[in-house]
Amino acid sequence: MRKKILLFCDPGIDDSLAIMYAMLDPELDIVGIVTGYGNITREQATKNAAYLVQLAGRDDIPIIPGASNPVQQEEVFFYPEIHGEEGIGPIRPPEDMTYETAPFDTIRMLMEKYKDELIIVSTGRQTTLATVFILFPEEIKFVQSFFVMGGAFFVPGNITALAEANFFGDPTSSNYVLTFAENLTVTPLNVTRYAVITPDVVEEIAQSKKNVYSYLIAPIFKYYYRFYKDKTPGIKGAPIHDLLTVMLVKNPDLVDYIYYDANVAEGIETRGLSYIDVRPSSPKGDTKIAINLHYQKFMEEFKKVMVRVE
Ligand code: RIB
Ligand code: CA
For residue range 269-280, list pLDDT tens digits in order.
999 999 999 999
Residues at CB less than 6 angstroms from ligand 1 = 10, 12, 14-15, 38-39, 123-124, 149, 158, 164-166, 241-242
Closest ligand, as measured to the CA of 240: 1
Q: Report the residue among 20, 125, 166 best suited for mutation to probe ligand 1: largest number of ligand atoms under 8 A from its CB.
A: 166
Ligand 1 midpoint to CA 124 (Å): 6
Q: Closest by alpha carbon to 168, among 77, 276, 294?
A: 77
Please report which confidence band the pLDDT of residue 302 belongs to, taking 50, 70 and 90 as the band edges: very high
Ligand 2 midpoint to CA 279 (Å): 31
% of the chain residues with pLDDT over 70:
99
- Whether residue 79 is predicted with pLDDT greater than 90 in this model: the reply is no
CB 17 within 8 A of CB 63: no
Residue-wise pLDDT tens digits, 125-162: 999 999 999 999 999 999 999 999 999 999 999 999 99
CATH number at residue 31: 3.90.245.10
Residues 292-304 have a mean pLDDT of: 97
For residue 310, the model assigns a pLDDT of 55
Ligand 1 midpoint to CA 14 (Å): 7
Peptide bond into 84 cis (omega under 30): no
Residue-wise pLDDT tens digits, 24-37: 999 999 999 999 99
Ligand 2 midpoint to CA 125 (Å): 7
- Whether residue 308 is predicted with pLDDT greater than 80 in this model: the reply is no
Residues 90-94 have a mean pLDDT of: 93
Closest ligand, as measured to the CA of 239: 1
Average pLDDT value for the chain = 96
Interhelix angle for 295-306 vs 241-250, to 10°?
90
List the shell of residues around ion ligand 2, using CB closer than 5 Å: 10, 12, 15, 123-124, 242
- Domain tally for the chain? 1
Residue-wise pLDDT tens digits, 33-76: 999 999 999 999 999 999 999 999 999 999 999 999 999 988 89
Q: Which residue's CA lies nearest to atom 4 of ligand 1?
A: 165
For residue 309, the model assigns a pLDDT of 58
Ligand 2 midpoint to CA 216 (Å): 18
For residue 60, the model assigns a pLDDT of 97
For residue 202, the model assigns a pLDDT of 97
Question: CA separation (Å) from 177 to 140, 151, 231, 241, 296?
Answer: 12, 13, 31, 19, 31
For residue 99, the model assigns a pLDDT of 97
Q: Which residue's CA lies nearest to atom 1 of ligand 1?
A: 165
Please report which confidence band the pLDDT of residue 299 belongs to, taking 50, 70 and 90 as the band edges: very high
Please report which confidence band the pLDDT of residue 217 belongs to, taking 50, 70 and 90 as the band edges: very high
Of all atoms in ligand 1, which is nearest to the CA of residue 12?
8
- Whether residue 21 is predicted with pLDDT greater than 90 in this model: the reply is yes
Closest ligand, as measured to the CA of 7: 2
Closest ligand, as measured to the CA of 83: 1
Question: CA separation (Å) from 40 to 16, 73, 88, 91, 132?
Answer: 12, 17, 10, 14, 21
Q: Which domain holds residue 85?
A: 3-306
For residue 73, the model assigns a pLDDT of 83
What is the value of pTM for the model shown? Answer: 0.97
Cβ atoms within 10 A of the Cβ of 274, count? 30
- Whether residue 90 is predicted with pLDDT greater than 90 in this model: the reply is yes
Ligand 1 midpoint to CA 310 (Å): 32
* CB within 8 Å of 279: residues ≥ 6 apart: none
* CB within 8 Å of 172: residues ≥ 6 apart: 70, 71, 72, 130, 266
d(CA 33, CA 15): 11
Please report which confidence band the pLDDT of residue 212 belongs to, taking 50, 70 and 90 as the band edges: very high
Please report which confidence band the pLDDT of residue 209 belongs to, taking 50, 70 and 90 as the band edges: confident
Ligand 2 midpoint to CA 13 (Å): 8
